[in-house]
Structure 1
């Protein structure tokens, strides 16, 4: 495929997204209908689609229309590429620009448009994050860096960097997070690398790693990851100390890969479908959330979330927190985490939990906002009030 043909393909995928189709489903539909496309073509189209979908509003403004074509015209302009060089109408290229499309819009974009957020979410970012709101929104407009966690059970950072380099992956130590690496180049080869196959590294965002390092652990503890999902955080905790780790999720199918991942990492994680009566010294609730701190990885989220959906998430988080608290030992810790930047899911959720449960106190709080060093993440630690 030519570069122009890749743009044309991205336009079709984006039009399907605008009609309501999830971006991954739209890409899969194109891929199945385009057997002629090679791996580089598929990667290029995917990049165009995700870049355009992250910048849906600002690119549409710069391109003159909220259509797949308008988004790609505007995105190319934002990337410093003259659209008319690709919109030639020849050899599967998009049609030539019309008179309207040849010129930038006369009016500047409104702040919510320029920062690529729905209006109501732009207001939330300003209210919840203050002066940091615009920078957080801006970070979500670009691709996320790739971060890895070095597994100390298998080796150290130097060994991981060397092993990855042998497989064409260039990585450097994270400046702030112990055992974290940032991939500089070759990110698509990580999953095929020896370091990954041997359990020396795992894909995990740096902010998530930093949050897990903030939780106090000691040998002999029993830890329960209450909303384990794929088990990334359970793996990070299990690698730090000789602890007993159990993983639970309301949807057990999400935990399907945990046993294989644990074996690869050299740790043990017990996958449990029901939480029994035995108490844990640390219960981690990585709650279902809006994912607003990770929208550069999953841009569908910011276009699909609405106030009613956010309210439903907040209610679910509160229910899960109260349920999980029952599983904490008398002198244990309850940790609550989200990958959201919204106050309703974070500080406000912690405050209402304490009001509902007077036997607890806030022992620690940390928040990371999306940027070059990691995604958005939030963590609080509750301990029982001394009697």
Structure 2
């Protein structure tokens, strides 16, 4: 496919997303209907679509509208690419620019482009929480997220993992935020086909998540429950950090954990899968990676940014409180509770932790927030002990 044909495809897919189709569904349906498109074509189209979703507000301002065509015009303008060279109307290329579009493109660049890429109602709470970092974080969230892997120390050293990835044509360098984290460069798209990944030497996991798990003190023989395990990434990280702990994974939706047994086998980890709603009790440590807005991961899931509403956020905050109450009842006397989110919002993080401590009498012993300024996703961790 030509660059112009890829642009046409991206416009079509963005228009489908604009009518309510999830991004992944729109991309998959397009690919199935256009099987002639090669892997490089699909990757390039995907990049166009996700760039436009991440920067929907600023690209709409630059391109003159919210439709797929206007968003791509905004993308090209942001990249200092003359849209007239792409919008030619030639074979598979978008139709030539209209006079109205030319007039929009001739206007001065609007101010505060990065701030336009947040929903308006979130600017105030994010600005208040992030303070002096708000503009830096806003700019970082407009770019593609780096790809990180966690070195499975039960299988390989960090240097051995770097060497194994290099054999597969994937560049990797250590990241200072976590001793187990590698940031991938060239070849990152091939990670799941690499020998290092398939042999269990590395596992995909953001560096902020790795750093947060690294704050948890573990000891041999501890009974540990990952209460909202999802895909099980944190269960695997805990098992690698302390193989002599007994790790239990639970999720109310068992479908989320369907790949965990295979991943655990690949990693050489022992993880017990709990039946939904029957997590047991008396654990030395219970980890709650709570459902949240996902605002810290919006570089990876940008459409979620535009679909979050104040009402939905209120529902999530209430759900987090209920889950913390449920999980705290599963902790043994003298045990610990760990709360995590992949959110940038205080209402889901510091405020939620403070409210739980005040309501229950548990002692907040540690908390830390991570943001894209440190390289990874926005993330939060808080640890509690039951007061005597």
TM-score by length of 1: 0.96
- For 1:334, the equivalent position in structure 2 comes to 337
Shift of 1:32: 1.6
Q: Secondary structure at the match of 2:338?
A: strand
CA contact (8 A) 1:115 1:137 kept: no
Shift of 1:102: 2.4
Q: Distance in 1 between matches of 2:8 and 2:102?
A: 17
Shift of 1:108: 5.2
Q: Distance in 2 between matches of 1:326 and 1:251?
A: 20
Q: Distance in 1 between matches of 2:181 and 2:114?
A: 34
Q: Secondary structure at the match of 1:223?
A: strand
CA contact (8 A) 2:150 2:180 kept: yes
Shift of 1:105: 6.0
Q: Distance in 2 between matches of 1:153 and 1:114?
A: 43
Q: Distance in 1 between matches of 2:384 and 2:109?
A: 46
Shift of 1:278: 3.3
Q: Secondary structure at the match of 2:372?
A: coil
Q: Distance in 2 between matches of 1:372 and 1:351?
A: 24
Q: Distance in 1 between matches of 2:211 and 2:193?
A: 25
- For 1:286, the equivalent position in structure 2 comes to 289
Q: Secondary structure at the match of 2:196?
A: helix
CA contact (8 A) 1:207 1:368 kept: yes
Mapping of residues 20-39 of structure 1, within 5 Å: 20-39=20-39
Match of 2:350 among 325, 347, 352: 347
Shift of 1:373: 1.4
Q: Distance in 2 between matches of 1:125 and 1:109?
A: 21
Q: Secondary structure at the match of 1:228?
A: coil
Q: 1:261 to 1:248 in 2, by over 3 A?
A: same
CA contact (8 A) 1:61 1:105 kept: no
- For 2:223, the equivalent position in structure 1 comes to 222
CA contact (8 A) 1:115 1:141 kept: no
Mapping of residues 151-190 of structure 1, within 5 Å: 151-190=152-191
Q: Distance in 2 between matches of 1:32 and 1:115?
A: 34
Q: Secondary structure at the match of 1:317?
A: helix
- Aligned length, in residue pairs: 385
Name the stretch that deviates more: 309-318 or 166-175. Answer: 166-175
CA contact (8 A) 2:248 2:273 kept: yes
Q: CA offsets per residue over residues 194-233 of structure 1, 9 Å max, x none?
A: 1001100000000000000001111110110000000000
- For 2:82, the equivalent position in structure 1 comes to 82
Gaps of 5+ in 1: none
Q: Distance in 2 between matches of 1:105 and 1:323?
A: 57
CA contact (8 A) 1:62 1:105 kept: no
Mapping of residues 246-325 of structure 1, within 5 Å: 246-273=248-275, 274-325=277-328
- For 2:212, the equivalent position in structure 1 comes to 211
Q: Distance in 1 between matches of 2:184 and 2:236?
A: 20
Name the stretch that deviates more: 244-253 or 133-142. Answer: 133-142
Gaps of 5+ in 2: none
Q: Distance in 1 between matches of 2:350 and 2:112?
A: 26
Q: CA offsets per residue over residues 304-343 of structure 1, 9 Å max, x none?
A: 0010000000000000000000001111110000000101
Matched, 1:236 2:237: yes
Root mean square deviation of aligned Cα: 1.4
Name the stretch that deviates more: 94-103 or 290-299. Answer: 94-103
CA contact (8 A) 1:283 1:327 kept: yes
Q: Distance in 2 between matches of 1:54 and 1:244?
A: 40
Q: CA offsets per residue over residues 270-322 of structure 1, 9 Å max, x none?
A: 01024354311110000000000000000011100010000000000000000
Shift of 1:114: 4.3
CA contact (8 A) 1:339 1:378 kept: yes
Shift of 1:100: 2.6
